[in-house]
Amino acid sequence: MHFRVRKPHKLTFSTGHIFRNHWKKVCSLFLPSCRDKRAREMSSPSSPNKWEQIKTVANGYFANGDFERAVSEYSKAIQHGPDQSVLFTNRALTHLKLLDFQKAENDALRAVELSSSSMKAYYVLGRCHTHNNDQVKAVRTFKRCLDMVNAADPTMGLYKEIFSFYFRARKSFYDERRASMLLSMREVVETCKSPSCDNDTRSSVMEQLFSALEEGNRIGDEHGSVLVQRAGHNHTSDFFNEVPECFLCPISMEIMKDPVMVIGTANPTLMCSKQSYERECIEKHFLMNGRSDPLGRFEYLPQPVVIPNLTLRMSIHCFLEAHPWLFTD
């Protein structure tokens, strides 16, 4: 008995073509994104990295100055990461660039709610308070921001800007309080000079004046107490208008905000410059005049290192805290 072995069926072009089309339909129905796993991750709204990817795109728009598109991208990122403080902080900074202070303040407040250690969020809040001419809140906010910078990284590039905004707000607050005090004192003088003013009236007016000044102290800033002390006596030492020479940059002759020292002198017996300079001034000097010392005493090595003088910085900080009227931009 013979059995005839049947040869396997040979697929023709048309049969193979139909088979491939059928397989594609199956894949499209059940495995629509198997060909690209990363595409599936990107398209998933619950992907933990989605907001980071969008934030990177938004950061690029921000760096290029396209703030409108940056706001749009940050808003998309917030939809995927509504609990991320950095997203609200970045969008607040973008609103600040667009001078939309109300939206910037709202985003900064939300960022602070999510993370109380967001230094940049406090910076945005301080800028918004300054724009609203609320110097009391501006002083408090920038003070907290400055303390956070000093505790985290005293060499941070944003320090000088925060420093300037903080003491600018303190000076504005001091000027406002001083003007208010002088106006009140003029009114008291005019009242006391009136022929109809008796001793009891004079005493009553003076009590009202000092009560008003003391009430102002409760806002939490020490400038009010300084003004009250000055109103009570006339010691010339209170009107201090001289800045110690060591606080001045020898290049710009202005109060240093970010004093630095230079390491790497050509003199083997002098490893570090004894003189401090404003960082921006000394870097500009090296760029324009090479490695010569600004005071012409010696030359630095080809690649001198600039380091912050933190002790001098804190001394200047304390000095301006006590004498805010001497701050200059």
Task: Spell out the per-residue pLDDT of the chain, length 329, in tens.
Answer: 454 545 555 545 444 555 555 555 545 544 544 444 444 444 444 455 788 899 999 999 999 999 999 999 999 999 988 899 999 999 999 999 999 999 999 999 999 999 888 888 999 999 999 899 888 888 888 888 888 877 776 666 677 788 888 888 888 777 777 777 777 667 766 776 677 666 777 677 667 666 655 555 544 344 444 444 444 444 444 445 678 888 888 888 888 888 888 876 655 555 566 788 888 888 888 888 877 778 766 676 667 778 888 888 888 888 888 777 777 76
**Is the CB of residue 223 less than 8 Å from the CB of residue 179?**
no
Same domain for 69 and 155, yes or no, is yes
pLDDT digits (tens, 9 = 90+) for 217-274: 544 344 444 444 444 444 444 445 678 888 888 888 888 888 888 876 655 555 566 7
Which three-class secondary structure state does DSSP give residue 278? strand
Number of domains in the chain: 3
Same domain for 175 and 232, yes or no, is yes
Same domain for 62 and 143, yes or no, is yes
Burial class (CB in 10 A: 0-12, 13-18, 19+), 264: middle
Which CATH number belongs to the domain containing residue 102 in this structure?
Answer: 1.25.40.10
Domain membership of residue 224 (yes or no) is yes
Q: How far apart are CA 181 and CA 184, in angstroms?
A: 5
Same domain for 55 and 142, yes or no, is yes
Which CATH number belongs to the domain containing residue 279 in this structure?
Answer: 3.30.40.10
Who's near 200: CB < 8 A, 6+ residues apart? none
Strand 300-308 to 277-278 pairing: unpaired
Domain membership of residue 88 (yes or no) is yes
Radius of gyration of the chain (CA): 33
Tell me the longest C-alpha to C-alpha distance in the chain.
Answer: 149
Q: Where among 142, 164, 186 does a domain terminate?
A: 164
The residue among 258, 302, 232 whose CA lies nearest residue 161 is 258
Q: Tokens 């002198």 correspond to what residue?
A: 265
Domain membership of residue 80 (yes or no) is yes
Same domain for 176 and 152, yes or no, is no
Domain limits for position 281: 245-319
Q: How far apart are CA 192 and CA 212, in angstroms?
A: 17
Q: Is the pTM of this model over 0.85?
A: no
- pLDDT for 102: 94
Q: How far apart are CA 188 and CA 206, in angstroms?
A: 7
Domain membership of residue 159 (yes or no) is yes
